[in-house]
Structure 1
Amino acid sequence: MILDLFFPDRCIHCNRIIDADILVCNLCFGQIHFTHFSYSDENEIKERCKLLFPVENAYALMQFEEESVSRKIIHELKYRSREKVGKILAKWIIERLDFNHQKPDLLVSVPLHPKKQKERGYNQLHLFTEALSKSYDIPFRHDLIKRNHYSKAQALKDKKHRLSTENMFSITENISEQHILLIDDVFTTGNTISTIAWEILKSGNNRVSVLVMAMDV
């Protein structure tokens, strides 16, 4: 209580004092550009995925724009060790996403290299994935996909290097007859998701869908 008086929680966008269980104030929340996509219908992220690999369904929570509230939210999650951000984003997803009788069999998040995970202290997608798993009653696997190479953050790479994902990931266990929901924070070029999707598709007669917190526009 005393710490709350001296170090109150503040909106990550405008710095207003807010309750501890939220990220942004009501005014800034209204500035977030949610996509309002339907998971099972055609939408922009599904069309972009279809150019890269066979995708069942796809969903993005927010649009990822320059100097936007959504960009600041993702930055807090990835680079400032704000693990609670993942739980709050999962809550926003749960309020909006209906699988419409096309619920996947397994949730799989994009892995970090062990060295990078040690540097950050956690994988920003784990709590997010686990919260979705609990709410939708879908099992998750954090160990199904392995990142083979350590690399600098995507945000620090130029476009040429962001497109290079050859041999970046491998599957740790052959699976088949599964509908996998691949989970990532931001969909930019789609090459990371595509590389993992092909590893899953090659493993057996599997299907892949995609869920991301935000998509680049």
Structure 2
Amino acid sequence: MFLVDLLFPNRCLECNRIIHHNEVVCELCFDQINFTHHHFSESNLLTEKCRLLFPIENAFALMQFEEESTSQKIIHQLKYGGREKIGKIISNWTLEKIDLRKSKIDLLVTIPLHPTKQKERGYNQLHLFADTLSKGLKIPCDHSLIKRNFYKKAQAQKRREQRTFNENLFSITKNISNQHILLIDDVFTTGNTMSAVAWQILKEGNNKVSVLVMAID
């Protein structure tokens, strides 16, 4: 055991028990996580929500994102607590619960942060998550296909009358066609951000879109 583990032991985000440095919650609290049990190839709540906004092939959310829930605490630590390695943990949970081998996904694509935002945070919370998925699924991943054009705007644009703004929120950085893209994000809330990215991809060529998120609100 490293000295840092003795001086600053890793603790469960839920109950504060000392746990292995590669874990985020203890076994007892892991059992309390509200996993969705979605099947990627079957219709589910996320699929239905996405279909109200854009054409979609399949969708999967790993967890329910509820106020004061364990899943909320985990994702908040990933995004705001400087714990980028949690992305790998969530990715391994995802790989254990879904099988994408028959889905014919061509490319994994992450929702980008604005460069200024990413510099402030120090990392994009989706990159390690997606890279771990990419390695496990043997499907390439592209973090640069989508560019965010505005800073600190996405979460402010929630009303339908602001759709025009959302259509310009992202842009494609390279030509893509005849690709089945799996869009990856952390939490699906209103779906406005995901929809803005999906439409950019769909209008580029004969592309198809599926969605995978860590949690659905």
TM-score by length of 1: 0.94
* Matching of residues 17-166 of structure 1 within 5 Å: 17-99=18-100, 101-151=102-152, 154=155, 157=156, 159-160=158-159, 165-166=166-167
Contact conserved, 2:101 with 2:137, CA < 8 A, in 1?
no
Deviation readout 1:99-122 (Å, 9 max, x if unpaired):
251131000000000000000011
Could you tell me how far 1:166 is from its partner in structure 2? 3.6
How many residue pairs match? The answer is: 214
SS across alignment from 2:53: coil
- Return closer, same or farther for 1:170/1:69 CA change in 2, 3 Å cut-off: same
Unmatched segments (≥5 aa) in structure 2: none
Give me the whole-angstrom Cα distance separating, in 2, the residues matched to 1:158 and 1:173: 26
Give me the whole-angstrom Cα distance separating, in 1, the residues matched to 2:167 and 2:139: 30
Give me the whole-angstrom Cα distance separating, in 1, the residues matched to 2:28 and 2:113: 34
Q: CA RMSD in A?
A: 1.7
Could you tell me how far 1:152 is from its partner in structure 2? 5.9
SS across alignment from 1:59: strand
SS across alignment from 1:165: helix
TM-score by length of 2: 0.94
Unmatched segments (≥5 aa) in structure 1: none
Could you tell me how far 1:22 is from its partner in structure 2? 0.7
Could you tell me how far 1:168 is from its partner in structure 2? 0.7
Contact conserved, 2:182 with 2:212, CA < 8 A, in 1?
yes
Contact conserved, 2:107 with 2:139, CA < 8 A, in 1?
yes
Percent identity between the two aligned chains? 64
Give me the whole-angstrom Cα distance separating, in 1, the residues matched to 2:123 and 2:7: 27
